[in-house]
Protein backbone atom coordinates (compact mmCIF):
# COMPACT_ATOMS: atom_id res chain seq x y z
CA UNK A 1 0.00 0.00 0.00
CA UNK A 2 1.35 3.40 -0.95
CA UNK A 3 3.06 5.63 1.58
CA UNK A 4 2.53 8.77 -0.48
CA UNK A 5 2.23 12.09 1.34
CA UNK A 6 -1.47 12.62 0.73
CA UNK A 7 -3.98 11.32 3.26
CA UNK A 8 -6.07 8.30 2.39
CA UNK A 9 -8.70 9.29 -0.13
CA UNK A 10 -12.21 8.08 -0.86
CA UNK A 11 -12.48 4.27 -0.87
CA UNK A 12 -12.55 2.77 -4.34
CA UNK A 13 -15.56 0.68 -5.44
CA UNK A 14 -13.61 -2.57 -5.47
CA UNK A 15 -12.41 -1.91 -1.91
CA UNK A 16 -15.99 -1.37 -0.78
CA UNK A 17 -17.05 -4.58 -2.54
CA UNK A 18 -14.34 -6.52 -0.69
CA UNK A 19 -15.59 -5.03 2.58
CA UNK A 20 -19.14 -6.16 1.84
CA UNK A 21 -17.92 -9.67 1.06
CA UNK A 22 -15.74 -9.76 4.14
CA UNK A 23 -18.66 -8.75 6.33
CA UNK A 24 -21.50 -10.80 4.87
CA UNK A 25 -20.46 -13.44 2.34
CA UNK A 26 -18.66 -15.77 4.74
CA UNK A 27 -21.92 -16.56 6.50
CA UNK A 28 -23.35 -17.59 3.11
CA UNK A 29 -20.54 -19.95 2.00
CA UNK A 30 -18.77 -17.02 0.36
CA UNK A 31 -21.57 -16.33 -2.14
CA UNK A 32 -23.78 -13.28 -2.60
CA UNK A 33 -26.59 -12.82 -5.16
CA UNK A 34 -26.12 -10.24 -7.88
CA UNK A 35 -29.45 -8.52 -7.21
CA UNK A 36 -28.82 -7.97 -3.50
CA UNK A 37 -25.20 -7.01 -4.06
CA UNK A 38 -26.12 -4.38 -6.67
CA UNK A 39 -28.72 -2.89 -4.33
CA UNK A 40 -26.27 -2.65 -1.44
CA UNK A 41 -23.58 -1.14 -3.64
CA UNK A 42 -26.05 1.47 -4.91
CA UNK A 43 -26.52 2.53 -1.29
CA UNK A 44 -22.76 3.04 -1.18
CA UNK A 45 -22.95 5.32 -4.21
CA UNK A 46 -21.59 2.77 -6.69
CA UNK A 47 -23.47 2.86 -10.00
CA UNK A 48 -24.06 -0.14 -12.30
CA UNK A 49 -21.15 0.65 -14.63
CA UNK A 50 -18.71 0.95 -11.73
CA UNK A 51 -20.06 -2.28 -10.27
CA UNK A 52 -19.45 -4.15 -13.53
CA UNK A 53 -15.96 -2.72 -13.91
CA UNK A 54 -14.98 -3.44 -10.32
CA UNK A 55 -16.38 -6.97 -10.37
CA UNK A 56 -14.47 -7.66 -13.59
CA UNK A 57 -11.22 -6.54 -11.96
CA UNK A 58 -11.89 -8.68 -8.89
CA UNK A 59 -12.59 -11.69 -11.13
CA UNK A 60 -9.34 -11.14 -13.04
CA UNK A 61 -7.50 -11.12 -9.70
CA UNK A 62 -9.32 -14.33 -8.74
CA UNK A 63 -10.92 -12.63 -5.77
CA UNK A 64 -14.46 -13.35 -6.99
CA UNK A 65 -15.89 -16.02 -9.29
CA UNK A 66 -19.22 -16.14 -11.16
CA UNK A 67 -21.43 -18.81 -9.59
CA UNK A 68 -25.12 -19.58 -10.06
CA UNK A 69 -27.26 -21.06 -7.32
CA UNK A 70 -30.47 -22.36 -8.79
CA UNK A 71 -31.97 -19.53 -10.78
CA UNK A 72 -29.94 -16.86 -9.00
CA UNK A 73 -26.77 -15.40 -10.47
CA UNK A 74 -24.09 -14.31 -8.07
CA UNK A 75 -20.43 -14.07 -7.21
CA UNK A 76 -18.50 -16.24 -4.77
CA UNK A 77 -15.21 -15.63 -3.02
CA UNK A 78 -12.29 -17.57 -4.44
CA UNK A 79 -11.18 -20.30 -1.99
CA UNK A 80 -7.88 -18.54 -1.29
CA UNK A 81 -9.73 -15.47 -0.03
CA UNK A 82 -10.99 -17.15 3.16
CA UNK A 83 -7.61 -16.99 4.92
CA UNK A 84 -6.92 -13.50 3.56
CA UNK A 85 -10.18 -12.27 5.08
CA UNK A 86 -9.36 -13.91 8.41
CA UNK A 87 -6.04 -12.08 8.38
CA UNK A 88 -7.97 -8.90 7.62
CA UNK A 89 -10.18 -9.51 10.64
CA UNK A 90 -7.14 -9.67 12.88
CA UNK A 91 -5.82 -6.41 11.45
CA UNK A 92 -9.13 -4.57 11.64
CA UNK A 93 -10.40 -5.74 14.99
CA UNK A 94 -7.39 -7.08 16.91
CA UNK A 95 -4.30 -5.13 15.78
CA UNK A 96 -2.92 -4.16 19.19
CA UNK A 97 0.43 -2.36 19.66
CA UNK A 98 3.41 -4.65 20.10
CA UNK A 99 5.47 -4.69 23.27
CA UNK A 100 9.27 -4.86 23.64
CA UNK A 101 8.89 -8.54 24.54
CA UNK A 102 7.51 -9.24 21.06
CA UNK A 103 10.86 -8.43 19.48
CA UNK A 104 11.22 -7.90 15.74
CA UNK A 105 10.87 -9.85 12.52
CA UNK A 106 13.34 -9.09 9.75
CA UNK A 107 12.95 -10.00 6.08
CA UNK A 108 16.13 -10.18 4.01
CA UNK A 109 15.75 -10.76 0.29
CA UNK A 110 17.94 -11.10 -2.76
CA UNK A 111 16.36 -11.12 -6.21
CA UNK A 112 18.33 -11.68 -9.45
CA UNK A 113 18.31 -8.76 -11.86
CA UNK A 114 16.54 -10.98 -14.39
CA UNK A 115 13.57 -11.15 -12.00
CA UNK A 116 13.32 -7.51 -11.00
CA UNK A 117 9.51 -7.72 -11.13
CA UNK A 118 9.71 -10.06 -8.14
CA UNK A 119 11.77 -7.46 -6.30
CA UNK A 120 9.03 -4.89 -6.85
CA UNK A 121 6.41 -7.43 -5.77
CA UNK A 122 8.32 -8.15 -2.57
CA UNK A 123 8.72 -4.48 -1.70
CA UNK A 124 5.07 -3.77 -2.42
CA UNK A 125 3.90 -6.72 -0.33
CA UNK A 126 6.11 -5.84 2.63
CA UNK A 127 5.05 -2.19 2.52
CA UNK A 128 1.43 -3.34 2.30
CA UNK A 129 1.88 -5.33 5.51
CA UNK A 130 3.37 -2.34 7.31
CA UNK A 131 7.06 -3.31 7.19
CA UNK A 132 9.69 -0.58 7.17
CA UNK A 133 12.86 -0.61 5.01
CA UNK A 134 16.09 -0.71 7.03
CA UNK A 135 18.41 -1.01 4.01
CA UNK A 136 18.21 -2.29 0.42
CA UNK A 137 16.75 -5.79 0.66
CA UNK A 138 16.23 -5.61 4.43
CA UNK A 139 12.81 -4.85 5.95
CA UNK A 140 11.63 -4.98 9.55
CA UNK A 141 8.42 -5.05 11.58
CA UNK A 142 7.34 -5.89 15.13
CA UNK A 143 7.53 -9.59 15.91
CA UNK A 144 3.73 -9.72 16.08
CA UNK A 145 3.70 -9.74 12.25
CA UNK A 146 6.02 -12.75 11.88
CA UNK A 147 3.32 -15.30 11.14
CA UNK A 148 1.42 -12.93 8.88
CA UNK A 149 4.41 -12.15 6.67
CA UNK A 150 5.47 -15.79 6.54
CA UNK A 151 2.06 -16.86 5.26
CA UNK A 152 1.68 -13.88 2.89
CA UNK A 153 5.03 -14.43 1.17
CA UNK A 154 4.40 -18.16 0.82
CA UNK A 155 0.97 -17.47 -0.69
CA UNK A 156 2.58 -15.31 -3.39
CA UNK A 157 5.36 -17.78 -4.13
CA UNK A 158 8.11 -15.47 -2.89
CA UNK A 159 9.74 -17.66 -0.24
CA UNK A 160 12.61 -18.64 -2.53
CA UNK A 161 13.93 -15.07 -2.42
CA UNK A 162 13.74 -14.36 1.31
CA UNK A 163 15.13 -15.27 4.71
CA UNK A 164 13.18 -14.48 7.88
CA UNK A 165 14.73 -13.69 11.26
CA UNK A 166 13.33 -13.02 14.74
CA UNK A 167 15.34 -11.04 17.28
CA UNK A 168 15.79 -8.04 19.55
CA UNK A 169 17.39 -4.67 19.04
CA UNK A 170 20.61 -4.37 21.04
CA UNK A 171 20.44 -0.79 22.21
CA UNK A 172 23.65 0.52 23.78
CA UNK A 173 23.48 4.29 23.70
CA UNK A 174 26.59 4.78 25.82
CA UNK A 175 28.61 3.10 23.04
CA UNK A 176 27.27 5.43 20.38
CA UNK A 177 24.53 3.21 18.92
CA UNK A 178 21.34 5.02 17.95
CA UNK A 179 18.33 4.71 20.28
CA UNK A 180 15.67 2.43 18.85
CA UNK A 181 13.09 5.25 18.79
CA UNK A 182 15.39 7.18 16.46
CA UNK A 183 15.74 4.20 14.15
CA UNK A 184 12.01 3.61 14.09
CA UNK A 185 11.56 7.20 12.92
CA UNK A 186 13.89 6.41 10.00
CA UNK A 187 12.30 3.11 9.04
CA UNK A 188 8.70 4.32 9.06
CA UNK A 189 6.98 7.51 7.94
CA UNK A 190 5.48 8.16 11.37
CA UNK A 191 4.25 11.70 10.55
CA UNK A 192 2.51 10.33 7.48
CA UNK A 193 0.81 7.51 9.40
CA UNK A 194 -0.23 9.87 12.16
CA UNK A 195 -1.66 12.33 9.61
CA UNK A 196 -3.85 9.55 8.29
CA UNK A 197 -5.06 8.73 11.78
CA UNK A 198 -5.77 12.42 12.39
CA UNK A 199 -7.80 12.58 9.16
CA UNK A 200 -9.77 9.51 10.25
CA UNK A 201 -10.52 11.15 13.60
CA UNK A 202 -11.54 14.47 12.05
CA UNK A 203 -14.00 12.85 9.63
CA UNK A 204 -15.42 10.16 11.87
CA UNK A 205 -15.69 12.12 15.09
CA UNK A 206 -18.17 14.29 13.21
CA UNK A 207 -20.01 11.09 12.23
CA UNK A 208 -20.12 9.99 15.88
CA UNK A 209 -21.62 13.35 16.87
CA UNK A 210 -24.31 13.05 14.17
CA UNK A 211 -25.19 9.56 15.37
CA UNK A 212 -25.47 10.82 18.95
CA UNK A 213 -27.90 13.54 17.83
CA UNK A 214 -29.97 11.33 15.53
CA UNK A 215 -29.63 7.56 15.21
CA UNK A 216 -29.25 6.65 11.52
CA UNK A 217 -31.72 4.52 9.60
CA UNK A 218 -30.55 0.94 8.91
CA UNK A 219 -29.59 1.90 5.35
CA UNK A 220 -27.67 4.95 6.52
CA UNK A 221 -25.91 2.87 9.17
CA UNK A 222 -24.90 0.32 6.53
CA UNK A 223 -23.44 2.91 4.16
CA UNK A 224 -21.58 4.74 6.94
CA UNK A 225 -20.27 1.53 8.48
CA UNK A 226 -18.92 -0.05 5.30
CA UNK A 227 -17.19 3.18 4.28
CA UNK A 228 -15.72 3.68 7.74
CA UNK A 229 -14.55 0.07 7.95
CA UNK A 230 -12.91 0.25 4.52
CA UNK A 231 -10.91 3.33 5.47
CA UNK A 232 -9.97 1.76 8.79
CA UNK A 233 -8.78 -1.45 7.13
CA UNK A 234 -6.44 0.51 4.88
CA UNK A 235 -5.09 2.41 7.87
CA UNK A 236 -4.40 -0.77 9.83
CA UNK A 237 -2.27 -2.14 7.02
CA UNK A 238 -0.19 1.04 6.97
CA UNK A 239 0.43 0.81 10.72
CA UNK A 240 2.73 -2.06 11.82
CA UNK A 241 1.59 -1.78 15.44
CA UNK A 242 4.82 -0.41 16.90
CA UNK A 243 5.29 -0.36 20.68
CA UNK A 244 3.75 2.83 22.04
CA UNK A 245 6.91 3.84 23.92
CA UNK A 246 8.70 4.16 20.55
CA UNK A 247 6.07 6.51 19.11
CA UNK A 248 5.53 10.25 19.54
CA UNK A 249 3.63 11.34 22.64
CA UNK A 250 -0.18 11.35 22.32
CA UNK A 251 0.02 9.09 19.26
CA UNK A 252 -3.15 9.69 17.24
CA UNK A 253 -3.53 5.98 16.56
CA UNK A 254 -4.72 5.45 20.12
CA UNK A 255 -7.58 7.95 19.86
CA UNK A 256 -8.43 6.66 16.38
CA UNK A 257 -8.72 3.08 17.67
CA UNK A 258 -11.02 4.24 20.47
CA UNK A 259 -13.21 6.07 17.97
CA UNK A 260 -13.32 3.03 15.70
CA UNK A 261 -14.48 0.86 18.61
CA UNK A 262 -17.21 3.38 19.44
CA UNK A 263 -18.49 3.49 15.86
CA UNK A 264 -18.17 -0.25 15.40
CA UNK A 265 -20.41 -0.73 18.41
CA UNK A 266 -23.05 1.77 17.31
CA UNK A 267 -23.13 1.21 13.55
CA UNK A 268 -22.49 -2.49 13.03
CA UNK A 269 -25.72 -3.94 14.54
CA UNK A 270 -28.15 -1.89 12.38
CA UNK A 271 -25.83 -2.19 9.36
CA UNK A 272 -25.76 -5.98 9.70
CA UNK A 273 -29.53 -6.21 10.02
CA UNK A 274 -30.01 -4.10 6.92
CA UNK A 275 -27.49 -6.00 4.79
CA UNK A 276 -28.88 -9.39 5.78
CA UNK A 277 -32.39 -8.28 4.91
CA UNK A 278 -31.34 -6.99 1.49
CA UNK A 279 -29.27 -10.10 0.78
CA UNK A 280 -32.00 -12.38 2.18
CA UNK A 281 -29.57 -14.07 4.56
CA UNK A 282 -31.10 -16.06 7.39
What pLDDT, in 10s, does the model give residues 67-122? Answer: 999 999 999 999 989 889 989 999 999 989 999 999 999 999 999 888 989 999 99
Model pTM score: 0.90
Same domain, 181 and 194: no
Domain boundary at 141, 158, 187, which? 187
- Render pLDDT for 171-198 as a digit per residue (tens, 0 to 9): 766 666 788 999 999 999 999 999 999 9
Residues 16, 227 contacting (CB under 8 angstroms):
yes
Say how many Å lie between the first and final Cα of the chain, rounded: 36
| Number of domains the chain is built from | 3
The count of C-alpha atoms lying within 13 angstroms of the C-alpha of 196, restricted to the half-sphere facing its C-beta, is: 22
What pLDDT does residue 1 have?
Answer: 30
- Let me know if residue 174 belongs to a domain: yes
| H or E element in which residue 133 lies | strand 132-135
| H or E element in which residue 75 lies | strand 72-77
- CB 50: neighbour CB atoms within 10 A? 16
Same domain, 20 and 53: yes
Same domain, 196 and 272: yes
Domain boundary at 187, 213, 243, which? 187
DSSP result, 241-279: ---GGGS-TT-HHHHHHHHHHHHHHHHHHHHHHHHHHHH
The pLDDT of 267-273, averaged and rounded, is 97
Same domain, 182 and 196: no
Same domain, 67 and 109: no
Same domain, 217 and 244: yes
- Let me know if residue 87 belongs to a domain: no
Same domain, 161 and 200: no
Same domain, 65 and 110: no
Question: CA dihedral in degrees (119, 122, 123, 128; nearest 10)?
Answer: 160
Sequence length of the chain is 282
pLDDT(205) > 90: yes
Eight-class DSSP state of 107: E
The pLDDT of 45-71, averaged and rounded, is 93
Same domain, 106 and 169: yes
For β-strands 132-135 and 104-109, DSSP reports them as unpaired
Domain of 22 in residue numbering reads as 13-81
- Let me know if residue 2 belongs to a domain: no
- Render pLDDT for 15-29 as a digit per residue (tens, 0 to 9): 999 999 999 999 889
Helices (H), 9-145: 13-20, 34-43, 48-60, 81-94, 116-128
- Let me know if residue 132 belongs to a domain: yes
What pLDDT does residue 8 have?
Answer: 59
For residues 120-156, one letter each, b for 16 or more C-beta atoms within 10 angstroms of the residue's C-beta and e for the rest, the string is ebbbebbbebbbbbbeebebbbbbbbbebbeebbeee
Report how far residue 76's alpha carbon sits from residue 180's, in angstroms, rounded to the nearest whole number. Answer: 46
The pLDDT of 26-43, averaged and rounded, is 93
Domain boundary at 54, 81, 108, which? 81
- Let me know if residue 121 belongs to a domain: yes
- Let me know if residue 107 belongs to a domain: yes
pLDDT(2) > 50: no
**What CATH number does the domain containing 128 carry?**
3.30.70
Same domain, 172 and 198: no
Same domain, 194 and 275: yes
Eight-class DSSP state of 137: T
Q: What percent of the chain has pLDDT over 70?
A: 95
**What CATH number does the domain containing 40 carry?**
1.10.10.10
Same domain, 18 and 62: yes
Report how far residue 6's alpha carbon sits from residue 24's, in angstroms, rounded to the nearest whole number. Answer: 31
Eight-class DSSP state of 146: H
- Let me know if residue 165 belongs to a domain: yes
Residues 77, 30 contacting (CB under 8 angstroms):
yes
Q: Greatest CA separation found in the chain?
A: 73
Amino acid sequence: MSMADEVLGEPQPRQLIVSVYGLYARDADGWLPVAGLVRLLAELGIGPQAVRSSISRLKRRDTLRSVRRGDAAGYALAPSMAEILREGDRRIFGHLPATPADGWVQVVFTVPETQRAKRHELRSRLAGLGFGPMAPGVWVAPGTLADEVRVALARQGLTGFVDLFRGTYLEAGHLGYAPLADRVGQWWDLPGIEARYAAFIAEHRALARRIARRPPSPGEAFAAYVRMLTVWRRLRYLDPGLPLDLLPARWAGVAAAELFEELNGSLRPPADRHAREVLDLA
